[in-house]
Amino acid sequence: MLVGEAVANIEELEELARKCRVHIVNMVHKAQAGHPGGSLSEIDLLVGLYKTTLRTRPHEPDWSDRDRFILSKGHASPGMYAILAEMGFITVEDLDSYRVLGGICQGHVDMKWCPGVDFSAGSLGMGLSFGMGSAIAGRLDESERQVYVMLGDGEIQEGSVWEAAMAATHHELGNLNVILDRNRIQNDDFCEAQMRMFDIPAKWKAFGWNVKEIDGHNMNEVVQGMQFLSNSNDGPSILIAHTVKGHGVSFMADNPAFHGAAPNDDQYAQAMKELGEVVA
């Protein structure tokens, strides 16, 4: 890749992430419910993944040999719906159906409702196991397809995550990849207050995983991180992305209150201004 091209790409990715952030705040404001914080922390990672790495066909979402993306922290659905809309799996108008009766954008991402969603999420600690099954299926199919699972950092307090982490290395699943959104905040408070997790990279290394850490809001590092995942195929790999919950909107950033709360109209106007969007 030429250096100039790479720079141009990064700028495009950053602009796409900005647009997705606008979608996220719009969705949560319109629904007056939902989870903006974790959507804003994960969105740079989702943009990097979908635009540089994930092999999909937006107009053939059920293509059987697609790479799988599993949003295990399924409450951070606005982020996923935003990138699905920008990729063309769904329309931008579909985003208005977030949390609306009959809408394809269910509160938590659901494979039965929304094109491009491969896993019905909602309960934490489930996606990695599902991803492991998807990875074994890929191996049985003798396919090169990869499986990417996004976990939240609070989520890894669920014991079942570690059942899956252990099993994935036992089965040498090189096609299984985790992106950990290390935003340091969970529902009630900072992770540090709720359940200290100490040395997270060391824990995954001890379970036999390939581990890389990045700044999850530096698009250059995000792109390199995705390359690390897709190129590390000797065993399961995890990209630990250090992020800021609510990143991009000043009053949401690093604020536990916006894990699962919608902005009011004044806050919405300010958020749009900060995201460079003119509200009519």
Partner 1 sequence: MTKMAATRDGYGEALLELAANEKVVVLEADLGKSTKSLHFRKAHPERTVSCGIGEQNMMLVGAGLAASGYIPFASTFAIFTERAFEQMRNGIARPNLPVHVCGSHGGTHTGTDGSSAQSIEDLAIYRTLPNVIVMHPSDIISTKLLTMQLADAGSPSYTRTARNKTPVLYEGRENDIQIGKGIVLLDGEDVAIIACGVMVSESLKAAKVLAEEGVNATVVDMHTLKPLDGTLVDRLANKCGAIVTAEDHNVIGGLGGAVAEHLTANKFAPLERVGVQDRFGESGQAHEMLDVMKISSRYIADAAMRAIARKA
Site of interaction with partner 1 (CB under 8 A): 64, 110-112, 118-120, 122-123, 125-126, 129-138, 140-141, 159-160, 163-164, 166-167, 170-171
Q: Could you tell me the smallest distance in angstroms from the CB atom of residue 197 to partner 1?
A: 20
Q: Name the minimum Å distance from CB 255 to partner 1.
A: 29
Residue closer to partner 1 (CB basis): 133 or 276: 133
Residue found by looking up tokens 């950033």 in the block = 253
User: Which of 144, 189 has the CB closer to partner 1?
Assistant: 144
Q: Which two tokens stand for residue 233?
A: 């195929």
Pick the closest to residue 109 from 136, 134, 127, 86 (CA basis). 127
Task: Decide: 255 and 245 in contact? Cβ < 8 Å.
Answer: yes
Minimum separation from the CB atom of position 200 to partner 1 (A)? 20
Own/partner long-range contacts of 184-190 (Cβ < 8 Å, ≥24 apart): 184/153, 184/245, 184/254, 185/37, 185/154, 185/245, 185/254, 185/255, 185/256, 185/259, 186/152, 186/153, 186/154, 186/157, 186/256, 186/259, 187/154, 187/259, 187/260, 188/256, 189/256, 190/256
C-alpha 10: how far from chain center? 18
Q: Among residues 131 and 246, whose Cβ is nearest to partner 1?
A: 131
DSSP-derived 3-state class of residue 214: strand
Closer residue to partner 1, CB minimum distance, 134 or 210: 134
Query: Can you tell me the distance from the alpha carbon of 188 to that of 193, in angstroms, rounded to the nearest whole number?
Result: 9
| Minimum distance of partner 1 from residue 83's CB (angstroms) | 20
Cβ at position 209, least distance to partner 1 in Å = 15
Q: Give whichever of 131 and 248 is closer to partner 1, judged by the CB atom.
A: 131
Q: How far apart are the first and last CA of the chain?
A: 40
Instruction: Please report how close the Cβ of residue 155 comes to partner 1 at its closest, in angstroms.
Output: 14
Q: Residue 147 CB, nearest distance to partner 1 (Å)?
A: 8
Q: Which is nearer to partner 1, 129 or 243 (CB)?
A: 129
Which is closer to partner 1, CB of 169 or CB of 233?
169
* Sign of the CA dihedral with 39 first, then 44, 45, and 47 last: positive
Between 66 and 217, CB nearer to partner 1: 66
With residue 40 as reference, give the H or E element that holds it. Answer: helix 36-52
Exposure string over 233-248, b if 16+ CB within 10 A, otherwise e:
beebbbbbbbbbbbbb
Least Å distance, CB 108 to partner 1, is 10
